[in-house]
C-alpha cells in the first residue's frame, strides 16, 4: 500500500478542512500518489478523486426536547440538583433584580408625575430597606399613600377654612360688641348733659 500522507495533508489544505475529512478514491491510488503539489490536488478534486466528506450530524433534537420538559419543571427534582440553592440562583442576584425593577418603577412614576421627589426619596429608602417584595406591593403602597395624603390635605383645607370662618365670626362679634359699647357711651353722654 502506497503512503498517501502527503496527498492527504495537501488535500486538507486545498479543501480547507481537517485531514480526517478528506476522502481519497481507493480505486485511483496510482494517480493520487503521483500528485505531489497543490495544483495536482486541485485537478484531482475537480475530477472527483479527492472529496471533502460531509459534516457529521450532531443532532440537538433530544436536547431541545429535554429543555422543553425542563421548562415545565420536569427533571428538576432534588435528585437532579448538584449545587446548593444559593449556588444555583444566588440571593444577591435575586436582590439586584428586585431592586432594579422597583427602582425603575419609582423613576418612571416620578417622571410621569405620579409621585413627587419627596415621596420618591422616601420610597427609595423603603425599597432599600426590604419593605416591598415586588412591584404589586409597591404600587398598592403608593396608591394608599396618595389617598392618605389627599385625605390629609382635604382635612387640612377644611380645618383652615373653619379656622378662617371662626376668625371672621370672632372679629364680627368683637366689632358688634365694640359698636354696642360705643353706642351705649354715646347714649349715656347726652343723658348726662340733660341732667345738668
Buried b (16+ CB within 10 A) or exposed e, 91-107: eeeeeeebeeebeebbe
What's the confidence (pLDDT) of residue 72?
97
Q: Output the nine-digit C-alpha cell for 141.
A: 403602597
What's the confidence (pLDDT) of residue 189?
66
Tell me the whole-structure pTM to 2 decimals.
Answer: 0.60
What's the confidence (pLDDT) of residue 104?
98
Using alpha carbons, select from 6, 39, 7 the residue that is nearest to residue 25.
7
Distance in angstroms (rounded) separating the CA atoms of residues 6 and 3: 8
Element (H, E) at 67: helix 61-71
What's the confidence (pLDDT) of residue 190?
59
Q: Under a CB-based contact definition with an 8 Å cutoff, are residues 22 and 8 in contact?
A: yes
Q: Provide the residue-wise pLDDT of the chain in tens; the chain has 196 residues.
A: 789 999 999 999 999 999 999 999 999 999 999 999 999 999 999 999 999 999 999 999 999 999 999 999 999 999 999 999 999 999 999 999 999 999 999 999 999 999 999 999 999 999 999 999 999 999 999 999 999 999 999 999 999 999 999 999 999 999 988 888 888 777 666 555 555 5
Distance in angstroms (rounded) separating the CA atoms of residues 150 and 13: 80
SS3 22: strand
What's the confidence (pLDDT) of residue 2?
86
What's the confidence (pLDDT) of residue 15?
97
How many Cβ atoms sit within 10 Å of the Cβ of residue 17?
14
What's the confidence (pLDDT) of residue 184?
78
Amino acid at each position: 500500500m502506497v503512503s498517501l500522507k502527503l496527498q492527504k495533508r495537501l488535500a486538507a489544505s486545498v479543501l480547507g478542512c481537517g485531514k480526517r475529512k478528506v476522502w481519497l478514491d481507493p480505486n485511483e491510488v496510482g494517480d493520487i500518489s503521483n500528485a505531489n503539489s497543490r495544483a495536482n490536488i486541485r485537478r484531482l478534486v475537480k475530477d472527483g478523486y479527492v472529496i471533502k466528506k460531509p459534516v457529521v450530524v450532531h443532532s440537538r433534537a433530544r436536547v431541545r426536547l429535554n429543555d422543553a420538559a425542563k421548562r415545565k419543571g420536569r427533571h428538576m427534582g432534588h435528585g437532579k440538583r448538584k449545587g446548593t440553592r444559593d449556588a444555583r440562583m444566588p440571593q444577591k442576584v435575586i436582590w439586584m433584580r428586585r431592586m432594579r425593577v422597583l427602582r425603575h418603577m419609582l423613576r418612571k412614576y416620578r417622571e410621569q408625575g405620579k409621585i413627587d421627589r419627596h415621596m420618591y426619596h422616601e420610597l427609595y429608602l423603603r425599597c432599600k430597606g426590604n419593605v416591598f417584595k415586588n412591584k404589586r406591593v409597591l404600587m398598592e403602597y403608593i396608591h394608599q399613600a396618595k389617598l392618605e395624603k389627599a385625605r390629609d390635605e382635604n382635612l387640612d383645607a377644611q380645618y383652615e377654612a373653619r379656622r378662617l370662618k371662626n376668625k371672621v365670626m370672632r372679629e364680627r362679634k368683637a366689632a358688634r360688641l365694640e359698636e354696642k359699647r360705643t353706642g351705649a357711651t354715646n347714649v349715656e353722654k347726652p343723658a348726662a348733659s340733660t341732667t345738668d
